[in-house]
C-alpha cells in the first residue's frame, strides 16, 4: 500500500455508493450467467418480469416508468422479446398506437424457469442476514435515494 496523497474525501455516503456499484455489478453478472441457458439476459429477464407483473395491462411506456428506465431502453428490449416469441402485442382500447405488451405462453414458461433458477439463490442470500436487518437496509437505501432525488429536483428548480 502506497500513501494515497490525494486523500480524496472520505465520507460514509461514499462507502454506500461504492458498495451499491459493486452489488449492482455482481447482480447483473450473476443474472446474466443464470438465465443465459434460457436465452435471456439480466435486462430481458427484468423486462419480462415487469410485463408478467403487469398482467398484460401495460404499454411499453408504462413498463418503462414502472422500472424507472427510459422508454427507448425498454422499447428495444420489448421488440427483441417479441422477436423471440416471449411477448406479444394486444390492441389497446384506449390508444390506437400504444399497444399493450402481453406474455405469450412461451414467455410465461421461460419466466417461470428463470424464477425457479433464482429462488434458491435468493434464499441463500437472505440467509446471510436476519430478515429485520434486511428490511432496514432496504429502507435505508430508499431513504438515501430519496434525498438524492430531492437534491436533483432542487437543482433543476434553481
Partner DNA sequence: TGGATATTGACAGCGTTCTGTCAATATGAC
Partner DNA sequence: GTCATATTGACAGAACGCTGTCAATATCCA
Residues in region 42-61 near DNA by CB under 7 A:
42-44, 46, 59-61
Strands 95-103 and 87-92: antiparallel
Q: What's the CA angle centered on 101, arms 97 and 103, to 5 degrees?
A: 155
Q: Does 123 bind its own copies (CB under 8 A)?
A: yes
**Of these, 126, 153, 157, 158, which contacts its own copies (CB under 8 A)?**
126
Describe the chain by its helix, strand, coil percentages, rounded to 5.
Answer: 70, 10, 20
In whole angstroms, the minimum distance from the beta carbon of 92 to DNA comes to 8
In this structure, are residues 87 and 79 in contact, taking their beta carbons and an 8 Å threshold? no
Which CB atom, from 52 or from 84, has the smaller least distance to its own copies? 52
In whole angstroms, the minimum distance from the beta carbon of 110 to its own copies comes to 11
Gap between the Cα atoms of 125 and 110, Å rounded: 23
Of the ranges 95-103, 108-116, 132-140, 145-153, which one interacts with DNA (CB under 7 A)? 95-103
SS3 category, 102 = strand
Query: Residue 88: in which H helix or E strand, if any?
Result: strand 87-92
**Of these, 57, 79, 85, 90, which contacts its own copies (CB under 8 A)?**
57
Gap between the Cα atoms of 20 and 15, Å rounded: 8
Gap between the Cα atoms of 49 and 45, Å rounded: 6
Binder of residue 125, out of its own copies, DNA, none (CB less than 5 to 8 A by kind):
its own copies
Q: Does 146 bind its own copies (CB under 8 A)?
A: yes
Binder of residue 8, out of DNA, its own copies, none (CB less than 5 to 8 A by kind):
its own copies
- The residues of the shown chain that bind DNA, judged by CB under 7 A, are 25, 29, 41-44, 46, 59-62, 65, 68-77, 79-80, 94-99
Amino acid at each position: 500500500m502506497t500513501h494515497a496523497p490525494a486523500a480524496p474525501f472520505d465520507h460514509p455516503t461514499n462507502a454506500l455508493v461504492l458498495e451499491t456499484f459493486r452489488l449492482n455489478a455482481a447482480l447483473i453478472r450473476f443474472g446474466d450467467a443464470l438465465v443465459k441457458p434460457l436465452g435471456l439476459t439480466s435486462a430481458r429477464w427484468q423486462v419480462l418480469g415487469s410485463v408478467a407483473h403487469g398482467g398484460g395491462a401495460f404499454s411499453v411506456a408504462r413498463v418503462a416508468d414502472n422500472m424507472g428506465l427510459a422508454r427507448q431502453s425498454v422499447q428495444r428490449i420489448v421488440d427483441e422479446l417479441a422477436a423471440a416469441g416471449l411477448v406479444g402485442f394486444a390492441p389497446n382500447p384506449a390508444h390506437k398506437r400504444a399497444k399493450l405488451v402481453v406474455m405469450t405462453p412461451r414467455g410465461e414458461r421461460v419466466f417461470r424457469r428463470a424464477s425457479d433458477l433464482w429462488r434458491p439463490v435468493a434464499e441463500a442470500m437472505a440467509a446471510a442476514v436476519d430478515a429485520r436487518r434486511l428490511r432496514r437496509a432496504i429502507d435505508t437505501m430508499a431513504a438515501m435515494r430519496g434525498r438524492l432525488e430531492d437534491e436533483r429536483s432542487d437543482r433543476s428548480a434553481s
